[in-house]
A and B are shown apart, each in its own frame.
Chain A
Amino acid sequence: MTPILEARGLSRSFGSVRALDEADFDVEEGEVVALIGDNGAGKSTMVKAMSGNLALDSGTVLFDGRQVALTHPSDATRLGIEVVYQDLALAPHLDPTQNMFLGREIAAPGLLGWFGFMNNKEMRRKARQSFNDLGGTVRSLTSPVGNMSGGQRQQIAIARAIAWANRVVFLDEPTAALGVVQTRNVLEAIKRVRDTGIAVVLISHSMPEVMEVADRIQVMRLGRRVATFKGADTTMEQLVGAMTGALETEGQSS
Chain B
Amino acid sequence: MTNTPAAPDLSKSDAGRRSSAPPVTENGDGAADPDHHNESIWARLRSRQTTWIFLVLVVIVAFFAIKGGDRFASTGNFLLIAQNLVVLAVLGVGMTFVIVTSGIDLSIGSVMVFASVVSAKTMAAMDGSGGTVVLVGILTAIASGAVWGWINGILVAKAKIPPLIVTLGTLSAALGLAQVITSGNNISIMKVTGLTDFGIYQRILGIPALVWVALVIVVIGGIVLHKTKFGRYTYAIGSNEEAARRVGINVDRQLILIYLYTGALAGVGAVMYLAQFGTTTIAGATLTNLNVITAVVIGGTSIFGGIGTMFGTVVGLFIPAVLQSGLVIIGVQSFWQSVAVGVVLIAAVWVDHSRRAAALRGAKKKSTPRRKGRSRDSNPSSTPATSSSTQQ
- Residues of A participating in the B interface, judged by any CB pair closer than 8 Å: 38-41, 44, 53, 72-74, 77, 83, 85-94, 97-98, 102-105, 115-118, 121, 124-125, 128-129, 132-137, 139-143, 146-147, 150, 153-154, 173, 176-177, 179, 181, 184-185, 192, 205, 221-222, 224, 244-245, 248, 250
Give chain A residues whose Cβ lies under 8 Å from the Cβ of B7.
Answer: 132, 135-136
A201 vs B147: C-alpha distance when bound (angstroms): 47
- Asked if B228 lies at the interface with its beta carbon under 8 angstroms from chain A, I say yes
Give chain B residues whose Cβ lies under 8 Å from the Cβ of A222.
Answer: 383, 387-388, 391
A92 vs B240: C-alpha distance when bound (angstroms): 7
What are 23 A-B pairs at a CB distance below 8 A?
Answer: A41-B383, A74-B248, A83-B246, A88-B369, A89-B240, A93-B238, A102-B236, A102-B247, A103-B249, A128-B28, A128-B35, A132-B7, A132-B26, A132-B28, A136-B7, A139-B24, A142-B36, A147-B360, A147-B363, A150-B370, A179-B13, A185-B6, A245-B391
**Contact: B228 with A91, CB < 8 Å?**
no
Q: Which of A118, A121, A185 is in CB contact (< 8 Å) with B228? A: A118
A135 vs B24: C-alpha distance when bound (angstroms): 10
Give chain B residues whose Cβ lies under 8 Å from the Cβ of A118.
Answer: 227-229, 232
Contact string against A for B residues 21-39, beta-carbon threshold 8 Å, 1 for contact and 0 otherwise: 1001010110001111011
Q: Which of B34, B39, B238, B243 is in CB contact (< 8 Å) with A143? A: B39
**Contact: A93 with B35, CB < 8 Å?**
no
**Contact: B229 with A105, CB < 8 Å?**
yes
Give chain B residues whose Cβ lies under 8 Å from the Cβ of A40.
Answer: 376, 379-380, 382-383
- A39-B383, A116-B229 known; 6 new pairs, CB 8 Å cut-off, are A98-B232, A139-B24, A185-B4, A221-B383, A222-B391, A250-B392
A113 vs B240: C-alpha distance when bound (angstroms): 25
A213 vs B9: C-alpha distance when bound (angstroms): 23
Q: Is the interface of A mostly helix, strand, loop or mixed?
A: loop
A129 vs B24: C-alpha distance when bound (angstroms): 12
**Contact: B2 with A192, CB < 8 Å?**
yes
- Asked if B331 lies at the interface with its beta carbon under 8 angstroms from chain A, I say no
A244 vs B388: C-alpha distance when bound (angstroms): 10
**Contact: B368 with A140, CB < 8 Å?**
no
Asked, given contacts A143-B39, A224-B391, whether A124 binds B383 with beta carbons under 8 Å apart, the answer is no
Contact string against A for B residues 211-244, beta-carbon threshold 8 Å, 1 for contact and 0 otherwise: 0000000000000100111101101101110111
Q: Which of B28, B230, B374 is in CB contact (< 8 Å) with A125? A: B28
Give chain B residues whose Cβ lies under 8 Å from the Cβ of A147.
Answer: 359-360, 363
**Contact: A132 with B4, CB < 8 Å?**
yes
Give chain B residues whose Cβ lies under 8 Å from the Cβ of A248.
Answer: 390
A147 vs B359: C-alpha distance when bound (angstroms): 8
Asked, given contacts A103-B248, A140-B39, A177-B372, whether A116 binds B228 with beta carbons under 8 Å apart, the answer is yes
Q: Is the interface on chain B under 10, 10 to 19, 20 to 34, or 35 or more residues?
A: 35 or more
Q: Which of B10, B227, B249, B365 is in CB contact (< 8 Å) with A92? A: B365
Interface positions, chain B 308-357, Cβ under 8 Å from A, are none
Which residue of chain A is the closest to B14 with respect to CB atoms? A137
Which residue of chain A is the closest to B224 with respect to CB atoms? A116
State the Cβ distance, B291 to closest chain A Cβ, in Å: 26
Which residue of chain A is the closest to B223 with respect to CB atoms? A117
Give chain B residues whose Cβ lies under 8 Å from the Cβ of A105.
Answer: 229, 232
Give chain B residues whose Cβ lies under 8 Å from the Cβ of A137.
Answer: 10, 14
Asked, given contacts A89-B243, A89-B246, whether A140 binds B38 with beta carbons under 8 Å apart, the answer is yes
* Closest 5 A/B residue pairs (Cβ): A128-B28, A93-B306, A103-B247, A116-B228, A91-B239
- Asked if B138 lies at the interface with its beta carbon under 8 angstroms from chain A, I say no
**Contact: A90 with B240, CB < 8 Å?**
yes
**Contact: B10 with A135, CB < 8 Å?**
yes
A41 vs B1: C-alpha distance when bound (angstroms): 38
Interface positions, chain B 250-278, Cβ under 8 Å from A, are none
A88 vs B247: C-alpha distance when bound (angstroms): 12
Asked, given contacts A102-B232, A150-B372, A205-B374, whether A125 binds B238 with beta carbons under 8 Å apart, the answer is no
A60 vs B141: C-alpha distance when bound (angstroms): 51
A248 vs B373: C-alpha distance when bound (angstroms): 29
**Contact: A136 with B10, CB < 8 Å?**
yes
Give chain B residues whose Cβ lies under 8 Å from the Cβ of A153.
Answer: 369
Asked, given contacts A73-B248, A89-B242, whether A181 binds B6 with beta carbons under 8 Å apart, the answer is yes
**Contact: B33 with A124, CB < 8 Å?**
yes
Give chain B residues whose Cβ lies under 8 Å from the Cβ of A92.
Answer: 239-240, 306, 365-366, 369
Asked, given contacts A132-B4, A135-B10, whether A88 binds B368 with beta carbons under 8 Å apart, the answer is yes
**Contact: A133 with B249, CB < 8 Å?**
no
